[in-house]
Amino acid sequence: MENEWDKLLHIKTTGRDDTISDLVRYPYEPTDYTVLEQLASSGYITKNNTVVDYGCGKGRVSFFLTSQTKCHAIGIEYNPRLYQRACTNQLTAPRSSRVSLLKTDAIDFAVPEQVDRCFFFNPFSVKILRTVLDNLQKSCQESPREILLIFYYPSPSYTEYLATVPHLTLIDTLDCRPGEKYSDPREKLLVFRLKESNH
């Protein structure tokens, strides 16, 4: 399935990459296409949405979602090698004009007002996530709107931290391996709504 979708989308995104991973920025591992299919059909992302993929790696999430839902996507990657791979994929991917790729650190990314969906597959530490959420919150205060945050395969430290953030509300949990007897409890998509804080 992995290779089939890559072929259909004319991109190369398989394989793990931990060239510059460390204690705060984690290795690149592509999100399974089966998970992305589920996300694309969930109704949470439509052609009117702009999705930020934090730690986009080779761009799989952005290219898949734009091709399936016609949304706009912004892929953020700080590893120059992975960013280059994503740019190469952009040359051949369908609807790639709906994808913007940025080589930047997630901490420094100023969230544009059209962004209303965010995707995370454990790209970095909770410390970085905290700053990213602050940036999203700030953007939300400047241009009030509903932002949904989607976390795939959340790490225990993410789950614990997210439960303590007052302006986040968990609105849905999508089981990514429904019906499997020995399924991994982390195989899920958590959907949070970010609301404006009043302070």
Q: Quick one: 2-194 is in which CATH superfamily?
A: Vaccinia Virus protein VP39 (3.40.50.150)
Say yes or no to pLDDT of 18 above 80.
Answer: no
Average pLDDT, stretch 46-68? 97
Task: Give the pLDDT confidence of 94-143 residue by residue, as tens digits.
Answer: 999 999 999 999 999 999 999 999 999 988 999 999 999 999 999 999 99
Structural domain spans, the chain: 2-194
Rounded to two decimals, the pTM is 0.93
CA geometry: angle 129, 23, 77, nearest 5 deg: 55
- Give ∠ CA 101-94-78 in degrees, rounded to 5: 15
C-alpha span between 196 and 53 (Å, rounded): 21
Taking alpha carbons only, the member of 27, 37, 28, 40 closest to residue 2 is 37
pLDDT value, residue 34: 93
Coil, helix or strand at residue 48: coil
Residues 6+ apart with CB under 8 A from 178: none
Q: In sequence order, which residues have a C-beta less than 8 Å from that of residue 87 and are 6 or more positions away? A: 101
Is-contact 128 107, C-beta < 8 A? yes
